[in-house]
Amino acid sequence: MNDHPRWSTLRIRALVLTFAVAAGAGVHAARAGSQESSHSYVPREGFVPDATTAARIAEAVLIPIYGARQIQSEQPLTATLRGDVWQVAGQLPAGSVGGVAIVEIAKRDARILRVSHGR
């Protein structure tokens, strides 16, 4: 009976070690899985290769923010590539005073870098 407490300690240590090994294996498996899921194709010209694509993305971003009527009134949206960033801007109707919508979009991965609207 004197060995009983010792067996309990050994059993606890064994269980802790078993859980630690299992957890380590789970972390390793999770990392391996994340490496597989991180594989992604990126087109040579980026996800936003041209002005038409940039304008369509900008419109999709702007309408929920400023409303379809406002963005429609600023058509056509004009996209200009500056370095690796597309700057897309609306246009004011002739004789109008005010500002226009502007969206900056990363050419490579289509991240929206800036959204603004002048007054």
**Three-class secondary structure of residue 39 per DSSP:** coil
Token pair 């899985």: residue: 33
Residue reference for tokens 């957890």: 23
pLDDT digits (tens, 9 = 90+) for 16-60: 555 555 555 554 444 555 455 678 888 999 999 999 999 999 999
The pLDDT tens digits of the residues spanning 86-114 come to 999 999 988 888 899 999 999 999 999 99
- The string of DSSP letters for 50-110 reads SHHHHHHHHHHHHHHHH-HHHHHHTPSPEEEEETTEEEEE--PPTT--S--EEEEEETTT-
Angle at 51 between CA 85 and CA 115, to 5 degrees: 50
Pick the CATH number of 51-117 from 1.10.12, 3.40.50, 3.10.450, 3.30.70: 3.10.450
Domains of the chain by residue range: 1-39, 51-117
Is the overall model pTM greater than 0.75, yes or no? no
